[in-house]
A = this chain, B = another copy of it.
Amino acid sequence: MQTLILVLDLVGTFVFAVSGAAKGVTSRLDLFGILVLSFAAASAGSIARDVVIGAIPPAAIGDWRYLAVSVLAGVMTFAWFPVIHRLRSAVLVFDAAGLALFAVSGAQKALEFGLTPVMAALLGMLTGIGGGMTRDMLVAEIPTVLRTELYAVTALLGAAVVVAGHVLQLPSTGVTIAGAVLCFGLRVIAIRRGWHLPAAEPAQGP
């Protein structure tokens, strides 16, 4: 089980890093910039979570495997960008898997550090979406997650399942799987159906 979680966590890191590297390529960064975006997209969410809950040094900085996977993803994307670009629908599905995993593992770590249930769910969401937000801000764009699609909400729901299970003292393996499946499933359906949240209409103002 422990090994399975580690493998899934590294898969999530890899996919997020690919999304960062692809953004770096399309923003015409150089190889160093692409690797920075790989690492930021994969790890900024969990670093922000660890800093505010006091888990110092953050796991993404203390464990070399996350960095190694990010660099590998960045170099592969740099070398074979046309292939990655052609596979972008598949990358979206893997990204949904990464989001699900990061959301549930983020919520669980926040609970372990004594955060309140509501904040643990939000920090789970932050773990899932913080990397993509940082990736977009590094290339001076408004983070996609703030504008379009049903993305953060699926992470929040997945994290909320983990937190609810903790409050109700259900077995943690089961609720973790349930939370991840819920987030992943909702996200994939949202991609297929084009679900999104409402936006306000600024032109209504006088």
Binding site for B on A (CB under 8 A): 24-34, 36-37, 47, 51-54, 56-58, 61-62, 64, 67, 77-78, 81-82, 85-86, 113, 115-116, 118-119, 122-123, 133, 137-143, 145-148, 152-153, 196-202, 204-206
Indicate how many identical chains form the complex: 3
- Cβ of A85: which chain B residues have Cβ within 8 Å of it? 205-206
With known contacts A37-B146, A47-B52, A140-B142, A115–B32 Cβ distance under 8 A: no
The 8 closest A-B pairs by CB, nearest first: A33-B146, A85-B205, A54-B56, A30-B197, A25-B200, A31-B197, A30-B199, A26-B202
A180 to B137, CA, bound (A): 31
Taking A138-B146, A204-B82 as contacts, is the C-beta distance between A122 and B67 under 8 angstroms? yes
Contact check, B196 vs A81: say whether CB atoms are below 8 A apart: no
Contacts of A31 in B (CB 8 A): 197-200
Chain B residue with minimal CB distance to A84?
B205
Cross-chain contact B142 with A139 (CB below 8 angstroms): yes
A19 to B95, CA, bound (A): 33
